[in-house]
Structure formats: structure tokens, C-alpha cells
Amino acid sequence: MKSLWSDSDAEAYADDPLQLRAYSSRLLGQNPDLVLHGGGNTSVKLEAKNLFGEDEALLYVKGSGWDLSSIEAAGFAPVRLDVLRHMAGFDQLSDVDMVRMQRAAMTDPYAPNPSVEAVLHAIIPFRYVDHTHADAVVTITNTPGGEDRIKQIYGDSLLLIPYVMPGFLLAKKVHEMSKDIDWSQYQGMVLNNHGVFTFDDDARRSYEKMIDIVTRAEAYIDANTVLEINSASQNEIDLVTLARTRQQVATARGGAVYASIDTSAEALTFASLETVDAIACRGPLTPDHIIRTKQIPLIIDDEHDPNSNPVDSYTAAYRSYFDRNTNGAQQCLDRAPRWAVWKKQGLIAFGTSLSEAAIIADISRHTINAIQIAEQLGGWRALPEKDLFEVEYWELEQAKLASNKTNPEFQGKVALITGAASGIGRACVEALIAKGAAVAALDVNPVVEGMYRSEHVLEIVGDVTRDTDLKRAVDLTVRRFGGLDILVSNAGVFAANEKIEDMQESTWQTGLDMNLTSHQRLLKYAIPYLRFGIESSIVIIATKNVPAPGPGAAAYSAAKAGLTQLARIAALELGKDNIRVNTIHPNAVFDTGVWTDEILQGRAASYGMSVQEYKANNVLSTEVSSRNVADMVCAMAGKPFAKTTGAQVPVDGGNERVI
């Protein structure tokens, strides 16, 4: 492992130990082999004057909610050092009381809550303290004889601490073990199955001690193991199975989730191991991960019964795990898995948000590497079930879960929108993103690529009149997000303003291809996945011309009328699958690509009106925007239309002919 320390960068913080602390903390946090997503903690001990002008010793320790990879000085909580050291001498102290006392000992009431390891940092008699969950070190300790291997690698230079529950119990254990030791004899401290501490009065030395310790562990692993990666080509993914599994997990979790599939060579190698069922289910890399990943993954084995529901078996096993370990005071969490090993296919991470799924995917990738290394060092051995349960149901972690905010309406849901680069389609993309959805935005215009610049949007260039493009768009959507819940069939074209007797054959055919046939083909490819969606909904964008056509628009009106009839039949056919199908009839939505100046002038002239009169030609005398239509799309895809299918709703400001 290479040191990232830069003397020139550090020089900027030479006169500010807290800023220097933040700098070296970021160096640790930027290496995922040391810490992942909020893991680890660091501190610095400083002297400061209080309100009375008296010198006071403070511990600035990483605050809850901050990530080491991006932490700033404001992310450290200042706590009175003498209070923390006194706390270490208590015989007993609940973690809730520990957190309360730490908070009361802070000198800045607006700072974040101190790390639960603050007391441990306080009793280590050095200015700078670094703590990581270094993969290499934890992997070695997660093997039979792990402590002996640590001694073989480091001799007596590290203080070895048997596994103890994080928080006060860990601090008390270290306090008792270190009463009569000379801390200067040690380069660091290894917490069995948990992580590594280093310390020094110099920030760089403390940081580089961590790098040295981990480098030596990596060298030991390299000398004693060989991690072979299967270079065989990836099997074709059964996307229906992916969507079905996602639906089953969402049902178990009680809300929509994304399913992020990893088919990399590393994931495929692990998923193809003959022993994967056993070794994957022995526990996490470090107990800190369990709050995100649960104790074990789901195992998906298509070779047994592709139509089975492995999630049911998982949730039943989780309930048994809870019943075996609960003290009667805890309430069982949701029993849904957070990640899965899909045998011979790869890994899947499940998250109610894309960021959660990405975090779980990162953790699972690190975990499978550690498992395979440990297997070559005598066998993967995680903590006993009881210890893992205590962390998963730790009262402090439960408090974090209880404080979670309400999710946006469509968080965890996946939408596909056609005609997404402009007008109604673009407004729908923006509205659904704002409500938490992940969206596949399909448009024939290449400008759609790079239009949204968001992890929540999959931008796809494709022609809806081409069968292959439609199938590809649906498949890409399911592969990226795990399924499909909302289909907004919007793409269309307003055919030339031609009377029937003067109509070109191409005008009629273009109207049918774009405004009818393409929608039917999109439904054909989307329905197999919508069947395994979460509260699935199809919204068809038709037109006011269906109930109230006008002269000169036969190609457009006839195709849209056929589309409306298609939607009605789809509602009848798909009701048994709980897929809702509803239709919107917009009118006079002038901020769309359909309404060119030429078409707008022609339509106005056909009614004997000026353009401005034509725009205001509705009962409410109001202009209808794409966003108004998008709001109705959200309503139809959401709770307001949860019990409605087969409906046709105008969004037109009130049209006398329709009314």
C-alpha cells in the first residue's frame, strides 16, 4: 500500500493541527481498502482556552455522519478529554448513556455527535489516533489462528485486542489491558475481527504507521495466497429472473428497491465457486458492515428451480436467527436481504436508493475478495452469530435507523420514458427524478446523451419505430436498475396538416408507425418486466383529438385513437397482473417539439384564429405546459390512481368539445 502523504499539501496546514488532522484523515478515507462508506474514525488532542480563559484539553474526534474521504475540520467533535478518560474507568455504562455524556462534554453544541470510539481515542496517550477497517488485516484475523499470524507478521510491535463489542465495552477492555504497558513500545493496535489503530504525536507518522502495517499484511497475503480470476465470458443474464428477485426483495422489505448487478470477472469467479453457498454465509468482513449488509447474502440458484422464491426461505431463516438471539427487548427488523450471490452469474446489491445499492455493492466486492483469501489461509471465519446480532441490534444503530427521513414517493422505483429529450417526455423525466425515481430516458435525438448528467438517469439513444432499439432500451433499463415499474409511452409525431383527400401515403404511415405501432411494440417488450414490477403502472400519452378530433389531422387522430383503444385493451389484459394502464389526453401543450411554428400557425388558421387566440382556446383560459402533463403522469403512476385503471383524463384547460 502506497503512502499518499504530500509534504507540499501538508505544509498548508502546518500551523493548524485540526486542519492537518482533517488532511491525513482524507488520505485514509480515499483508500477503500482501509475504510468504506463512513467507516473508521480519527482524532487529535489539542489545548484550547474556554470561556473563562483557562486552558482545556480537548479531543477532536470524527463526528457521526461524516465520511473520512471528504471530512473537513467541521466534521470533528470537540470533547473535554478529562471527562472521556474518567468515563473509561466506569465499571458499567450503557452506550446510550455514553453518547449522552459525550455530548454533554462537548464544547461546541452545534458540532456533530462524537464517534462511539471517542473514549478509546481518549485513553491512547498520543496526539493523533487513526482507526481503519483495513481489509488485509481484518482478513487475516478472520481465519483460524489469525492472532498467531498477526504475531508472526508483526512480532511484539502491535497490541492485540480480542474482539469486544464496539463502544464502551471496547474502550473499557483496552483501558484494562493497557494500565501497565508502555505505549511507546507499540506501533499500533489490532482489534481482532474489527480493525487497526495507529497513533503518534506526529500526524504523518501515525498515518504512515497505518500504511506500513497494512502493507505488511498485504505482503503476507501475496506470499501465501493466489487469487485466481475466471476469465471465462459472462453468461447471458436472465433479466426476468433479476426483475422477479427484485420484486421479491422489495416485498420482504416493505418498499421499492433497486437491484444493482455485478457481473465483473471477480464477481463471476466468486459466484461460480462450488463452495459458494457455504463460504458466503459465514458472516461479514467486519461487524461494522452488518448494519448495511445483514449477516449473510441471499443465494440464488437457477439450476434448482428458476420459479422458486429464495427470498421466502431467506426471510424465514432471518426470523429464526432473530428468535435465537433476541433478549426479548428488540423488535425484528425487516427480513429482506441486502445483497445476493447469483450462482454462476454474479452479485446483486439491493438498496432503497441508488447510493445505498452502490455502498452495499462496494462492501460485497471487498467481502468476496477477503473470503477467497481467507479460505487459502485455513478458512473464512467471521464472528460468531451472537456477536454479529449484538452489533446489528445495537441500540445506537437502531437509533440511527429510527431517525431516517421519509423517502420520496417514487424512491426505489424504475421508470422508462420515451420521447425524453424534449417537451412532455423531458418534463416527465424531471418530475419523476424529483420524486425519487430512477429513469431511463429514451429518445431518437442524440442530444439526450449528457442531457441529465445524473446517476438517476440512464440516457438511451434509440428510434421507437425500430424493434431492436425498443427491446434494447427495455433490456438496458432492467439491467441497470433491476426492473421496471413505470412506463410512460410518450414518443409521437404530429403528422403534416393534410386533409384526407390530399394525404400523402407517407404521412399516414408515419402517423401509424410513430403514434400506434411503436407503442404496441414497446408494451410487448416491457410487460414481462412490469409483471414483476412494484405497483406497476403504464401511462399512455394520447391527445384531445381522440374525443374531439379536428379537420386536417386524420393521420394523427386516427393513430392516437388506435393507441387509446390499445391502452383500454391493455388495461383489461394486465389487470390480473396488477398492472394499471391509464391514458392522458393533452391539448394545446405548446412547449413541445410537436408544436413547431409552422404547425401551430396551420392549426390556428384551420380554426380561423390567431396563434395567441388558439393558445388560449380553453375553458380556463390558461396555457397548459409539459409540466402540467408530467404532474398528471406522476399522479397516475402514484397513489392517487392506485385503484384506477383504464381511465382517460384530459389535461387541456377544459375543452368545450370534450366536455
Q: Which residues are catalytic?
A: 556
Q: How far apart are CA 96 and CA 182, in angstroms?
A: 32
Reading the block at residue 592, the C-alpha cell is 413541445
Q: Measure CA of the first residue to CA of the last residue in the chain; give whole Å.
A: 73
What single DSSP character describes residue 111?
Answer: S
DSSP 194: T
Q: What is the dihedral of CA 604, 609, 610, 615, to 10 degrees?
A: -60
Cβ atoms of 98 and 168 within 8 Å: the answer is yes
The DSSP secondary-structure symbol of 500 reads G
CB 269 within 8 A of CB 228: yes
Separation of alpha carbons 38 and 36, rounded Å: 6
| The residue to which cell 504523518 is assigned | 204
Q: How far apart are CA 245 and CA 337, in angstroms?
A: 11
DSSP 616: T
CA angle 446, 448, 449 (to 5 degrees): 80
Side chain identity at 253, as an amino acid letter?
R
Read out DSSP for 460-492?
EE--TTSHHHHHHHHHHHHHHHS---EEEE---
Distance (Å, whole) CA 518 – CA 185 = 74
Q: Alpha-carbon distance 418 to 462, whole Å?
A: 9
451's grid cell: 442531457
Q: Which residue has the cell 474526534?
A: 61
Pairing state between β 486-489 and 537-541 = parallel
Q: Transcribe 341-391 into DSSP letters.
A: EETTTEEEEEESSHHHHHHHHHHHHHHHHHHHHHHHTT------HHHHHHH
Secondary structure letter of residue 258 according to DSSP: E
For residue 169, count other CB atoms closer than 10 A to its CB: 15
The three grid cell numbers given for residue 356, joined into one nine-digit string: 445505498
Match 463502544 to its residue by C-alpha cell.
167
SS3 for 61?
A: strand
Name the 3-class secondary structure at 106: strand
Cβ 611 vs Cβ 646: under 8 Å: no
Residues 6+ apart with CB under 8 A from 400: 291
Q: How far apart are CA 166 and CA 287, in angstroms?
A: 9
Q: Which candidate, 375, 381, 460, places its Cα nearest to that of 415?
A: 460
User: Do residues 338 and 350 touch, judged by C-beta distance below 8 A?
Assistant: yes
Q: Collapsing DSSP states into helix, strand and coil, what is residue 228?
A: coil
Strand 298-300 vs strand 339-342: parallel, antiparallel, or unpaired?
parallel
